[in-house]
Amino acid sequence: MTSKADFTPQEWTMLLLAPVQTGMAVLLSSSSGLIGTAKEAMALYNATNKRVAQQYPQNSLIQALLSSNNDQEEKHVFQKVKAYISDNKARQQVKPEALQTCRNIALLLSQRVPPQEAEGYKQWLMDVSTKVAGASSENGHAINDAERMTLKEIADALGTVQTPAP
């Protein structure tokens, strides 16, 4: 059973940050307008809050991430989000940072977590990203080409399959 004790504080922070980074990478991959961006931001919040743990009852890593005391790590995550929102240079870095985080996580999980649990965590990241992409339609498409490409890049970086788009 995977727990917070199985990881360093930096690794744990990275595991908490990854769904936010991947969601932000999708959100910032194209302009959705004010309303669309708000819908995508709300989808990101809803896909990463503590209630989500109920959707993954068999995955002890997701359970631990969403139910552990993560005050220090969450502070770091919120600082990153604040930078992504308020700093244009940080916004430009969110996608490359998210993809590198995904590559690092794929390696970390392969070394420390049972394969089924690792795949479940990766699928959660894809679910988060896909929910963000599908939260607002642009030009009549639920997921536009830029979002679709970002989803593919995230899946490739994780070494997993892409969640089917809505």
Residue 42 has a pLDDT of 76
**Residue 71 phi, psi (nearest 5):** -55, -50
d(C-alpha 48, C-alpha 41), whole Å: 11
Domain ranges of the chain: 4-158
Tens of pLDDT, residue by residue over 115-163, are 999 999 999 999 989 988 888 776 666 788 888 999 999 999 999 877 6
Q: Which of 74, 82, 31 is nearest to 50 (CA)?
A: 74
Q: Which of 140, 102, 106 is nearest to 23 (CA)?
A: 102
Tens of pLDDT, residue by residue over 34-76, are 776 777 777 777 777 777 777 878 888 998 888 877 788 888 8
Give the position of tokens 């930096």.
10
Tens of pLDDT, residue by residue over 74-122, are 888 888 888 888 888 888 899 999 999 999 999 999 999 999 999 999 9
CB 128 within 8 A of CB 44: yes
Task: Give the three-state DSSP class for 143.
Answer: coil
- Tokens coding 101: 């985080």
